[in-house]
Amino acid sequence: MVEHRTPNPGVGGSNPSWPANFYLYPCLTDNSMRFKDTLKDFCYRQLFPRAGLVLVKLISRTYRYRLVDTHHEQGALDAHGTVVYASWHQRFFPGITFFATRKAIAIMISQSRDGEMIARMVDILGWRSVRGSSTRGGVHALKELRSLTNRGYRVGHIVDGPQGPFGVVKPGLITIAQFSGAPILPVIASAERRWVFNSWDRFMVPKPFSRVFLRFTPPIHVPRRPDSDAFEALRQDVEKQIKELTIQTDNWWRSPETIRRYFP
């Protein structure tokens, strides 16, 4: 006996193979995409920055810091009211929470999605994120930095970030100092015991309870309108000075007399 079924057009009209909720699929897809976008935004703006900072703060609280040559910092601040703190990307970790006490600090951060997460961390720390880079929004960011330094803000800058090449001071540091009128103040971070990551710059994180030097070097002044040759010569000079003082500070850990002087 053959069973005869009456086709149910449903929403699909005369085609019985179309499901009844066929036209709901785009709506469900749109809702799913909006949820994913909301989740990503929450992760980048809230979850990842806050979780990362909790970890950074927990580790950093165990460090034994020694500040060296702070008169260079104070002298530059007395003379100019502001400075541009300069550090290698490889070594900025121990300064994250420490320089949160050196408020107010402004930092130029790219307008990329990764930059969004970093900017959020900076904001949570109480610093001021200025969005822009050499490839996007740089002129506006420089103008904002100049306005902020005129109001007493200091500037933090990673001289070879965010992706290197390692050990090369990029022109952005000189340009920021040029526009802001602030002297460059290199800060050398050196840890006795550290983890070294397999990244482009061999990124370093001091191990818990490690002793850490933060050394302020003599300020470097940048003229407002250097020609191209003077600009490049200054960039190379800054790079050479930071490299030499980093090696010198690292070598202090090999001198028991120096260690006893700073960590009695």
Say yes or no to pLDDT of 125 above 50. Answer: yes
Q: According to the 3-state scheme, what is the secondary structure of 124-146?
A: HHCCEEEECECCCEHHHHHHHHH
CATH of the domain at 186: 3.40.1130.10
Residue 149 falls within a domain, yes or no?
yes
* Residue 21 lies inside a defined structural domain of this protein: no
In this predicted structure, what is the pLDDT of residue 200? 92
Residue 99 lies in a domain: yes
The answer to whether residues 100 and 249 touch, using CB atoms and an 8 Å cutoff, is no
**Residues of the chain above pLDDT 90, percent:** 60
Extract the tokens encoding 215.
């050394």
What lies within 8 Å, CB to CB, of 153 at 6+ separation is 82, 104, 105, 106, 128, 145
Residue 126 has pLDDT above 70, yes or no: yes
Whether 44 is covered by a domain: the verdict is: no
Asked whether residue 26 is domain-assigned, the answer is no
Residue 254 is predicted with a pLDDT of: 96
Q: What is the mean pLDDT of residues 132-153?
A: 87
* 111 has pLDDT over 90: no
Residue % of the chain over a pLDDT of 70: 83
| In-domain check, residue 124 | yes
Q: Which residue has the higher pLDDT, 36 or 83?
A: 83
Give the range of the structural domain holding residue 246, as residue numbers without chain letter: 58-262
Query: What pLDDT score was predicted for residue 12?
Result: 47
Residue 77 counted as domain residue: yes
Q: What is the DSSP letter of 172?
A: H
Q: How many domains does the chain have?
A: 1
Residue 205 has what pLDDT? 96
Rounded Cα distance between 86 and 184, Å, is 7
Question: What is the mean predicted confidence (pLDDT) over 131-135?
Answer: 79
Name the pTM for this structure: 0.81
Q: Is a pLDDT exceeding 80 seen at residue 70?
A: yes
Q: Is the pLDDT of residue 146 over 80?
A: yes
Instruction: Please write the tens of the pLDDT for every residue from 5-34.
Output: 555 554 444 455 555 555 555 665 666 777
What pLDDT band is residue 154 in, cutting at 50, 70 and 90? very high
Q: Is residue 34 part of a domain?
A: no
Predicted confidence band of residue 97 (pLDDT cuts 50, 70, 90): confident
